[in-house]
Amino acid sequence: MKTDHTPSRRRGEALERAIVTAVWEELAEVGYAKLTMEGVAARAHTSKPVLYRRWSTRVQLVVAAMTYGVPTRDELPDTGDLRSDVLTLLRQLESRFDDLPTDAIRGLMFEVLGDPEAVAIREYVVQTRCEDLIMVLLERAAARGEIDPAKISRRIARVPKDIIRSEYLTRADFNGRVPDDVITEIVDEVFLPLVRPVVRGD
């Protein structure tokens, strides 16, 4: 790893993108257990004080990297159809990792399952941030009359990302991201039946 660079004077978006990229490169190379603020700073060509001004722990730093590019409430898809909205959101969330090694993502997921410190990463990124976004889509669908408001729950909102995470952890045959057809199956065969009424034939 090169460490002979003078700390950069970049600001704002450029600096944040460089740091996020450095976090993922470090995770791919050394794993979460050996990731350090010093290593990230060196790879991002900045300084540790710059990191600590933004994130006081490496958990906060990794959370920032994992949520970088996640849409805000105002940026969520709003097509007028729940299926389309959820598929678009899940594809957006997965596309953030297009340039990253699958092993790095899978390795991080395994580590956060067993590291008490890293549990905060899973709870915030998966069980809070993504869950909140899908809750917004469900609430919009209910307001349109597309689904019964009684069907809305945070447990149901966790289902798509929980299954996608399970696919990363258990499907070693995936050579890259979770395939789009698998994401579609998760939405059509698991998620939507939980919130939409069953339509039975005559």
Alpha-carbon distances of 18 from 51, 61, 70, 84, rounded to whole Å? 11, 13, 17, 32
Regarding whether 39 and 118 lie in a shared domain, the answer is no
6 domain residue, yes or no:
no
- What is the dihedral sign for C-alpha 24, 122, 127, 180? positive
CATH code for position 23: 1.10.10.60
**In 19-43, which positions are buried (b, 16+ CB within 10 angstroms) versus exposed (e)?**
bbbbbbbbbbeeebeebebebbbbb
Regarding whether 147 and 127 lie in a shared domain, the answer is yes
Regarding whether 75 and 52 lie in a shared domain, the answer is no
Most confident of the following: 2-16, 22-36, 96-110? 22-36
Alpha-carbon distances of 90 from 59, 87, 105, 145, rounded to whole Å? 24, 5, 16, 23
What total of structural domains would you count in the chain?
Answer: 2
Regarding whether 173 and 76 lie in a shared domain, the answer is yes
The rounded distance, in Å, linking the Cα atoms of 43 and 182 is 35
- What is the dihedral sign for C-alpha 39, 45, 46, 52? negative
pLDDT tens string 28-49 = 788 777 889 999 999 999 999 9
Q: Is the pLDDT of residue 9 over 50?
A: yes
4 domain residue, yes or no:
no
The rounded distance, in Å, linking the Cα atoms of 94 and 109 is 14
Regarding whether 104 and 163 lie in a shared domain, the answer is yes
pLDDT value of residue 1: 46
pTM above 0.75, yes or no: no
pLDDT tens string 156-202 = 999 998 898 888 777 756 555 788 999 999 999 999 999 986 544 43
Regarding whether 186 and 133 lie in a shared domain, the answer is yes
Tokens of 15: 């600096």
pLDDT tens string 85-97 = 999 999 988 877 6
Regarding whether 109 and 32 lie in a shared domain, the answer is no
Regarding whether 98 and 77 lie in a shared domain, the answer is yes
Regarding whether 75 and 45 lie in a shared domain, the answer is no
Give the SS3 label for residue 102: helix
Largest CA distance in the chain: 73
Regarding whether 20 and 116 lie in a shared domain, the answer is no
> Which residue range forms the structural domain that includes residue 122?
69-195
- Pick the residue with more confidence: 124 or 158? 158
Regarding whether 188 and 100 lie in a shared domain, the answer is yes
Chain-centre distance for alpha carbon 171 = 18
